[in-house]
């Protein structure tokens, strides 16, 4: 009975997230399905109630699998011909990541008095969950890492859509470029694609690959789409619902945290966010000067947000997804391989 009640609360929460999205659509705000759900849930959780519940892996896991499949669908045979051109741009991710970590660690340790291990993991441009797991293993301050990493993601997810829509004048409400309406979807191929996603997630999890539910399906999706075995796209309606799921989960970030702590963390993290922005602008400008890629694709490739969230924005603005994804995979590879080693030695 408790399980059924939990599912009911999760469904109610997602419904409220959809209402927030509809409000954002009505107000003509950017990325309404993601930002609208973040906004309404982040307000609602500040009140004492037992009516809503954070969507569990029952929802988040399929959502990550879907994003992985959508990313993989962008790797058509034609796009893969350009991978060699991305090589030198990808190399810039190495100094970008190292400089980001050094500056962030100095900021948190020197100005906010974080211990070195907590400062190190707080400065990492990686996923919140991954950094918390490493933090638990090395006895760092988990609450600080969670709040700081979540705040960083919050600033990036909130800022990027407005930058894209109001500075670059690109509609970010959604598009049909690499997604199609459900009525135009080949349901048979969609079923096969879903099976591929599940298999990819299972294999990646067994191999203990970081971000397994995203990376596994993405790799298999790349293989089948690059070889022309499947041509169908993920339905646009499903992508919108995935945005609501991610938005709702992000909205729960500050649950149980008092307003004073939230405000202090946001102010403290905003300083780091400014540092990240300046570093990103430097490398975005350098990449734009050296390489012939669109400014939007470079902006998203060198944005230190979560891979799923950045790729979701890339999907909606029809950016060069393979270019963006490869850069984020390189950043994630660097972070997830050096973070545990260095953190234990600090």
Q: Apex CA 36: angle with CA 32 and CA 41, to 5°? A: 160
- pLDDT at position 319 is 80
Torsion of CA 250, 256, 261, 267, to 10 degrees: 10
Q: How far apart are the first and last CA of the chain?
A: 47
- Token pair 């789409």 is found at 225
Q: Which domain holds residue 253?
A: 64-345
Q: What is the DSSP letter of 178?
A: S
Is 16 part of any domain? no
Predicted confidence pLDDT, tens digits, the chain (346 residues): 458 888 898 999 999 999 999 998 888 776 688 878 888 998 888 887 668 888 888 898 898 899 888 878 777 776 666 677 788 898 999 999 999 999 999 999 999 888 888 888 888 886 665 676 667 667 777 777 877 887 787 788 778 877 887 777 776 655 444 556 777 788 888 899 999 999 999 999 999 876 788 888 988 998 898 887 887 878 888 888 988 998 888 788 767 767 777 788 778 888 898 999 999 999 999 999 998 888 888 999 998 876 666 877 787 777 888 888 788 877 876 776 676 677 667 6
Q: For the residues of 251-265, what is the DSSP string, one character each?
A: HGGGTT--HHHHHHH
Is 298 part of any domain? yes
Would you say how long the chain is, in residues? 346
Is 154 part of any domain? yes
Is 35 part of any domain? no
Is 18 part of any domain? no
Is 287 part of any domain? yes
Q: Apex CA 330: angle with CA 327 and CA 334, to 5°? A: 140
189/229 Cα distance (integer angstroms):
10
- Looking at the 3D structure of the chain, how many domains does it have? 1
Quick check: 315 and 239 in contact, CB under 8 A?
yes
Beta bridge partners of 180: 235
């Amino acid at each position: 009975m408790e399980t059924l009640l939990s599912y009911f609360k999760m469904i109610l929460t997602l419904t409220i997230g959809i209402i927030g999205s509809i409000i954002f659509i009505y107000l003509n705000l950017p990325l309404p399905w993601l930002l609208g759900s973040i906004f309404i849930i982040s307000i609602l959780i500040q009140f004492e109630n037992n009516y809503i519940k954070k969507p569990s892996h029952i929802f988040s896991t399929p959502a990550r699998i879907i994003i992985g499949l959508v990313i993989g669908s962008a790797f058509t045979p034609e796009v893969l011909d350009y991978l060699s051109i991305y090589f030198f741009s990808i190399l810039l991710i190495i100094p970008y990541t190292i400089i980001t970590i050094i500056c962030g660690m100095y900021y948190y340790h020197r100005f906010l008095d974080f211990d070195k291990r907590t400062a190190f993991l707080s400065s990492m441009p990686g996923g919140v969950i991954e950094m918390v797991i490493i933090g638990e293993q090395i006895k760092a301050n988990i609450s600080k890492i969670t709040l700081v990493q979540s705040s960083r993601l919050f600033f990036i997810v909130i800022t990027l859509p407005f930058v894209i829509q109001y500075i670059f004048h690109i509609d970010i409400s959604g598009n049909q470029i690499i997604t199609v309406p459900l009525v135009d979807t080949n349901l048979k191929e969609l079923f096969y694609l879903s099976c591929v996603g599940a298999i990819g997630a299972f294999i990646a999890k067994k191999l203990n690959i970081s971000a397994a539910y995203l990376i596994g399906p993405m790799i298999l999706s790349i293989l089948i789409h690059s070889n022309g075995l499947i041509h169908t796209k993920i339905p646009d309606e499903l992508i919108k619902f995935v945005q609501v799921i991610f938005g709702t989960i992000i909205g729960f970030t500050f649950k149980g945290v008092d307003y004073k702590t939230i405000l202090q963390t946001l102010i403290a993290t905003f300083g780091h966010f400014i540092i990240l922005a300046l570093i990103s602008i430097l490398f975005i400008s350098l990449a734009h000067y050296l390489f012939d890629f669109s400014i939007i694709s470079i902006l998203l490739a060198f944005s230190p947000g979560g891979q799923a969230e950045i790729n979701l924005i890339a999907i909606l603005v029809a950016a060069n997804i393979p270019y963006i994804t490869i850069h984020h995979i390189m950043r994630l590879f660097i972070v997830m391989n050096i973070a545990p080693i260095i953190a234990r030695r600090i």
